[in-house]
Homo-oligomer: A and B are copies of this chain.
Amino acid sequence: MADAPLAPLQDLSDRAREADRADPLRSRRALFHLPDGVTYLDGNSLGCLTYAARERLRHAVDQEWGEGLISSWNAASWVDLPARVGARIARLVGAEEGALVACDSTSVNLFKVLSAALALRPGRRVIVSERSNFPTDLYMAEGLAALLGQGHELRLAESAEEIPALVDGDTAVLMLTQVNYRTGALHDMAALSALAHDHGALALWDLAHSAGALPVDLSRDGADFAVGCGYKYLNGGPGAPAFLYVAPRHGEAARQPLSGWFGHAAPFGFEPGYRPAPGIARFLTGTPSVLALSALDAALDAFEGVEMSRLREKSMALTAFFVEAVETLCEGRGLTLAGPREPALRGSQISFHHPAAYALCQALIAAGVVGDFRAPDILRFGFAPLYNSFADALHAADTMAALLASGRHEDECFQRRNTVT
Which residues of A are interface residues toward B (Cβ below 8 A)?
33, 35, 38, 40, 42, 45-46, 48-49, 53-54, 57-58, 61-62, 64-67, 69-74, 78-79, 104-108, 111, 115, 131, 133, 135-136, 138-140, 142-144, 146-149, 156, 231, 237-242, 255-264, 268-274, 285-293, 295, 365, 370, 372, 374-375, 418-421
- Chain B residues with Cβ under 8 A from A144's Cβ? 257
Question: What's the number of copies of this chain in the assembled complex?
Answer: 2
C-alpha gap A170/B360 in the complex (Å):
60
Nearest-neighbour CB distance to chain B for A339, whole angstroms, equals 16
Is A79 a contact partner of B419 (Cβ separation < 8 A)?
A: yes
Contact of A237 among B45, B79, B111, B290 (CB under 8 A): B290
Residue of chain B at shortest CB distance from A295: B291
Is B111 a contact partner of A258 (Cβ separation < 8 A)?
A: yes
Contact (A69, B40) CB under 8 Å given A258-B108, A272-B131, A287-B106 = yes
Is A238 a contact partner of B272 (Cβ separation < 8 A)?
A: no
Contact (A35, B146) CB under 8 Å given A135-B261, A271-B135 = no
Closest 7 CB pairs of A and B: A105-B286, A107-B286, A107-B260, A143-B259, A238-B290, A136-B261, A147-B257
New A-B contacts (15) at CB < 8 Å, excluding given A115-B147, A148-B149: A35-B66, A35-B67, A53-B61, A71-B370, A105-B289, A138-B273, A140-B258, A143-B257, A156-B272, A238-B290, A239-B289, A268-B421, A270-B375, A289-B289, A291-B291
Is B66 a contact partner of A57 (Cβ separation < 8 A)?
A: no
Contact of A286 among B33, B35, B54, B108 (CB under 8 A): B108
Contact (A286, B135) CB under 8 Å given A69-B35, A70-B421, A421-B73 = no
Contact (A54, B46) CB under 8 Å given A260-B105, A287-B105 = no
Nearest-neighbour CB distance to chain B for A259, whole angstroms, equals 4
Contact (A54, B66) CB under 8 Å given A286-B136, A289-B292 = yes
Nearest-neighbour CB distance to chain B for A128, whole angstroms, equals 14
Contact of A70 among B46, B58, B257, B273 (CB under 8 A): B46
Contact (A108, B115) CB under 8 Å given A147-B148, A287-B231 = no
Is B108 a contact partner of A239 (Cβ separation < 8 A)?
A: no
Contact of A143 among B274, B420, B421 (CB under 8 A): B274
- Chain B residues with Cβ under 8 A from A107's Cβ? 258, 260-262, 285-287
Contact of A33 among B66, B274, B293 (CB under 8 A): B66
What are some 27 contacts across the A-B interface (CB < 8 A)? A46-B65, A49-B61, A54-B66, A57-B291, A65-B237, A65-B238, A69-B370, A70-B370, A70-B372, A78-B238, A104-B104, A105-B285, A105-B287, A105-B289, A107-B287, A135-B272, A139-B261, A140-B258, A144-B257, A237-B290, A238-B289, A238-B290, A239-B288, A239-B289, A242-B286, A270-B374, A270-B375
Is A74 a contact partner of B260 (Cβ separation < 8 A)?
A: no
- Chain B residues with Cβ under 8 A from A269's Cβ? 375
Nearest-neighbour CB distance to chain B for A155, whole angstroms, equals 12
Is A57 a contact partner of B67 (Cβ separation < 8 A)?
A: no
Is B365 a contact partner of A71 (Cβ separation < 8 A)?
A: yes
Nearest-neighbour CB distance to chain B for A116, whole angstroms, equals 10
Residue of chain B at shortest CB distance from A48: B69
Is B70 a contact partner of A259 (Cβ separation < 8 A)?
A: no
- Chain B residues with Cβ under 8 A from A135's Cβ? 261, 264, 270-272
C-alpha gap A292/B287 in the complex (Å):
13
Of A239, A258, A273, A293, most B-chain CB atoms within 10 Å: A239
Contact (A42, B61) CB under 8 Å given A108-B286, A135-B271, A268-B420 = no
Is B54 a contact partner of A42 (Cβ separation < 8 A)?
A: no
Nearest-neighbour CB distance to chain B for A73, whole angstroms, equals 5
Is B66 a contact partner of A49 (Cβ separation < 8 A)?
A: yes
C-alpha gap A105/B258 in the complex (Å):
11
Residue of chain B at shortest CB distance from A38: B69
Nearest-neighbour CB distance to chain B for A6, whole angstroms, equals 33
- Chain B residues with Cβ under 8 A from A256's Cβ? 143
